[in-house]
Amino acid sequence: MFKKLLHLTAAVAAVTMLSSCSAANVTPTPSPETTETASADDAEGFVSLSEAVPDAILEIRYYSTYNFVGDRIDGYDEACALITEEAAQALKEASDDAKEQGYRLKIYDAYRPQSAVDNFIRWAEDTDDTRMKDYFYPELDKSVLFDQGYIAEKSGHSRGSTVDLTLFDMDTGKELDMGGTFDYFGELSHPDYTGDLTEEQISNRNKLRDIMVDNGFKPLDTEWWHFTLENEPYPDTYFTFPVSEESVAEQ
- Judge residue 12's burial from the number of C-beta atoms within 10 Å of its C-beta, 0-12 exposed, 13-18 middle, 19 or more buried: middle
SS3 state at 157: helix
CB < 8 Å & 24+ apart, contacts of 95-100? 95/53, 95/55, 95/56, 96/55, 97/211, 97/214, 97/215, 98/167, 98/211, 99/55
How many angstroms from the chain centroid is the CA of residue 31?
A: 25
Angle at the Cα of 157 from the Cα atoms of 188 and 90, rounded to 5 degrees? 95
Catalytic-labelled residue, pool 223, 230, 232, 246 = 223
Cβ neighbours, 10 Å, residue 221: 9
Alpha helices by DSSP H, the chain: 2-13, 32-36, 49-52, 85-100, 114-125, 133-136, 199-214, 245-248
Is 13 within 8 Å of 59 (Cβ atoms)? yes
| Residue 223 known to be catalytic | yes
- Rounded-to-10 torsion of CA 187, 125, 161, 8: 60
Output Rg (C-alpha) for the chain, integer angstroms. Answer: 17
Rounded-to-integer distance, Cα 118 and Cα 106, Å: 26
Positions marked catalytic: 223
